[in-house]
Amino acid sequence: MASNGLLIVISGPSGTGKGTICKALSEDHDLWISVSATTREPRAGEVDGVNYYFLDKQEFLKKIENDDFFEYAEVYGNYYGTPKWKALEAIYSGKDVLLEIDIQGALKVKQQYPEGVFIFILPPSMEELRKRIINRGTETEESLMRRFKSAYQEINYISKYNYAVVNDTVAEAVDKIKAILTAEKCRVDRLKDKILDSEEAGIYEQLNDQSINR
């Protein structure tokens, strides 16, 4: 009884460790990693289909017309998007698909694929988030405050997600996400089509009718 895979969408404020969690999860769980498409030129060492799907602008716009993206945006003259065709192909073949994306992108994905599993990553505290951002050593005081303010605003979107996972440690966060995925695969609304195919459904209806008529 084959079943579809899950679309797992992970996002959260900058500095919460989303990338590290996704990397650890992919090493410990059989996942298909979603690769974005872009119209920008490849950088040194980047490989088509691994880092990005590199498309020319005309091809990208054609895919927009064909509704081939879960979401897309134009940034500094280049387009970036999350391909729908590759992800759905993997999902329908039974693979779980992992998508790490910003919050606005995640909400657009949810509009198109509401049956996805949307997980919001939180820091243990806002003070810990501040420490993590400072420890990167890449922020000025001004950019630090901007990121911190943005994090407060982004947390307001948590109600749009199915689950929230606090990243105390990466290992604990990964274990929580794995538990979420196990639970999602046991949901009745995901299992019913797999269990009750046309022949089995007919048998079930006969048994149900007999039970009612007793």
Q: Which residues contact 11 (CB under 8 A, 6 or more apart)?
A: 18, 100, 101, 102, 103, 105, 106, 118, 119, 120, 121
- What does the pLDDT read at residue 71? 94
Mean pLDDT value of segment 149-169: 93
- What does the pLDDT read at residue 40? 95
Select the more confidently predicted residue: 131 or 137.
131
Select the more confidently predicted residue: 207 or 115.
115
Mean pLDDT value of segment 162-191: 94
Q: What is the tally of helices (H) and strands (E) in the chain?
A: 9, 9
Q: Would the pLDDT of 24 be above 90?
A: yes
Question: Coil, helix or strand for 104?
Answer: helix
Start-to-end CA span in the chain (Å): 32
Q: Which of 73-77, 92-96, 108-112, 139-143 has the lowest mean pLDDT?
A: 139-143
Mean pLDDT value of segment 133-162: 83
Do you know the residue count of the chain? 214
Helices assigned H by DSSP within 36-186: 57-65, 84-92, 103-112, 126-136, 141-155, 170-185
Residue 193 banded pLDDT, cuts 50, 70, 90: low
Q: What one-letter code names the amino acid at 206?
A: Q
C-alpha span between 40 and 18 (Å, rounded):
24
Q: Would the pLDDT of 1 be above 50?
A: no
Residue 214 pairs in a beta bridge with none
Q: Which of 72-76, 96-100, 106-110, 163-167 has the lowest mean pLDDT?
A: 72-76
Select the more confidently predicted residue: 204 or 39.
39
Give yes or no for a contact between 205 and 213, defined as CB atoms under 8 angstroms apart: no
Residue 100 banded pLDDT, cuts 50, 70, 90: very high
Domain boundaries, the chain: 7-213
- What does the pLDDT read at residue 118? 98
Cα 163 to chain centroid, rounded = 12
Sheet of strand 53-54: strand arrangement: 53-54, 37-38, 78-83, 69-75
Q: Which long-range contacts (CB under 8 A, 24 or more apart) does 136-141 make?
A: 136/15
Select the more confidently predicted residue: 14 or 81.
81
Q: Would the pLDDT of 207 be above 80?
A: no
> What are the b/e assignments for 171-200, b being 16+ CB within 10 Å?
eebbebbeebbeebeeeeeeeeeeeeeeee
Mean pLDDT value of segment 158-185: 96
- What does the pLDDT read at residue 195? 64
Mean pLDDT value of segment 31-48: 94
C-alpha span between 36 and 197 (Å, rounded):
35
Report the run of H or E that residue 24 belongs to, with start and end.
helix 18-28
CATH code reported for the domain at 7-213: 3.40.50.300
Mean pLDDT value of segment 5-23: 93
